[in-house]
């Protein structure tokens, strides 16, 4: 949804992307600005605050000077949109996504006790399509540890990157985890999508995994 209004309060910005596909701009006459905000909805970072600096990427679409046509060759944006091969596995990243998955699963799940005194969980959501596990966009999910009161609902992070959650010693008993050598993790996620015939489908994952707890080596 795009709201264009000269009276909208954007704290000095010409436009802001508010997550979940919501955009507000002062005026719609600058197509570069509208495109810039739309690119945020596909995961692009600002190249004048999040990455780079005011001068380094000044001429890019995700830079901050949009009064002239931006440079077409924005390497950061292309990578973030999936048009590059960032993990260097020989497949353009956007082609690694499951468009029509049959099941929702976890992959590469790990639990690490760090030298910072935290438990760090890491995993990926994958969609199995014709037997092949592929990447999925899961912007929001819920995670809890059934043996501890810790609950984390993570949302609004870069949707298609690896997922992680961190708990400290006030949330989990780190010594008990080290002793037990494993931790139970409950993860709930939904993946709504459109099938080939445009009918709506929802895959739901609601699972408890028992992960071995690994100690990170001293730096």
Residues that bind Zn ion (CB under 5 A): 46
Tokens of 32: 């570069």
Q: 156: which residues sit within 8 A by CB, 6+ positions away?
A: 19, 139, 140
CB of 17 to Zn ion, least distance (A): 6
210 SS3 class: strand
Give the integer Cα–Cα distance in Å for 139 and 179: 34
Cβ neighbours around 7 below 10 Å, total: 5
Among 92-100, 109-117, 148-156, 176-184, the segment contacting Ca ion (CB under 5 A): 92-100
Residue 107 binding Ca ion, by CB under 5 A: no
Residue 29 binding Ca ion, by CB under 5 A: no
CB of 74 to Ca ion, least distance (A): 19
Tokens of 193: 């999508």
Between 85 and 120, name the residue whose CB sits nearer to Ca ion: 85
Question: Which partner from the list Ca ion, Zn ion, none does 46 bind, CB cut-off 5 to 8 Å by kind?
Answer: Zn ion
Residue 3 binding Ca ion, by CB under 5 A: no
8 A C-beta contact, residue 204 and residue 105: no
Among 28, 71, 91, 175, binds Ca ion (CB under 5 A): 91
The contact pattern for Ca ion, residues 45-64, with x = CB under 5 A and - = no contact, is: --------------------
Among 46-54, 90-98, 131-139, 192-200, the segment contacting Ca ion (CB under 5 A): 90-98
8 A C-beta contact, residue 128 and residue 101: yes
Q: 90: which residues sit within 8 A by CB, 6+ positions away?
A: none
To which residue do tokens 């890019």 refer?
60
Between 46 and 120, name the residue whose CB sits nearer to Zn ion: 46
Give the integer Cα–Cα distance in Å for 203 and 166: 26
Between 77 and 174, name the residue whose CB sits nearer to Zn ion: 77
Residue 93 binding Ca ion, by CB under 5 A: yes
Between 19 and 108, name the residue whose CB sits nearer to Zn ion: 19
Give the integer Cα–Cα distance in Å for 98 and 81: 15
- Count residues contacting Ca ion (CB under 5 A)? 5
Tokens of 210: 């028992």
CB of 95 to Ca ion, least distance (A): 8
Residues contributing to the site for Ca ion (CB under 5 A): 85, 87, 89, 91, 93
């Amino acid at each position: 949804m795009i709201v264009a209004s000269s009276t909208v309060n954007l704290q000095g910005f010409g436009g802001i992307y508010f997550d979940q596909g919501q955009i507000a701009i002062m005026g719609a006459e600058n197509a570069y600005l509208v495109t810039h905000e739309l690119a945020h909805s596909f995961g692009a970072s600002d190249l004048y605050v999040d990455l780079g600096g005011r001068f380094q990427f000044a001429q890019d679409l995700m830079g901050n000077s949009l009064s002239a046509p931006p440079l077409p060759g924005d390497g950061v944006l292309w990578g973030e949109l999936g048009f590059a091969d960032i993990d260097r596995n020989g497949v353009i990243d956007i082609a690694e996504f499951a468009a029509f998955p049959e099941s929702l699963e976890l992959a590469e799940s790990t639990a690490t006790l760090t030298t910072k005194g935290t438990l760090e969980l890491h995993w990926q959501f994958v969609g199995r399509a014709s037997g092949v596990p592929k990447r999925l966009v899961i912007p929001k999910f819920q995670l809890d540890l059934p043996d501890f009161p810790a609950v984390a609902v993570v949302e609004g992070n870069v949707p298609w990157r690896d997922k992680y959650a961190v708990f400290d010693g006030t949330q989990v008993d780190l010594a008990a985890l080290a002793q037990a050598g494993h931790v139970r993790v409950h993860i709930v996620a939904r993946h709504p999508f459109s099938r080939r015939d445009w009918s709506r489908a929802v895959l739901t994952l609601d699972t408890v995994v028992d992960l071995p707890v690994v100690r990170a080596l001293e730096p």
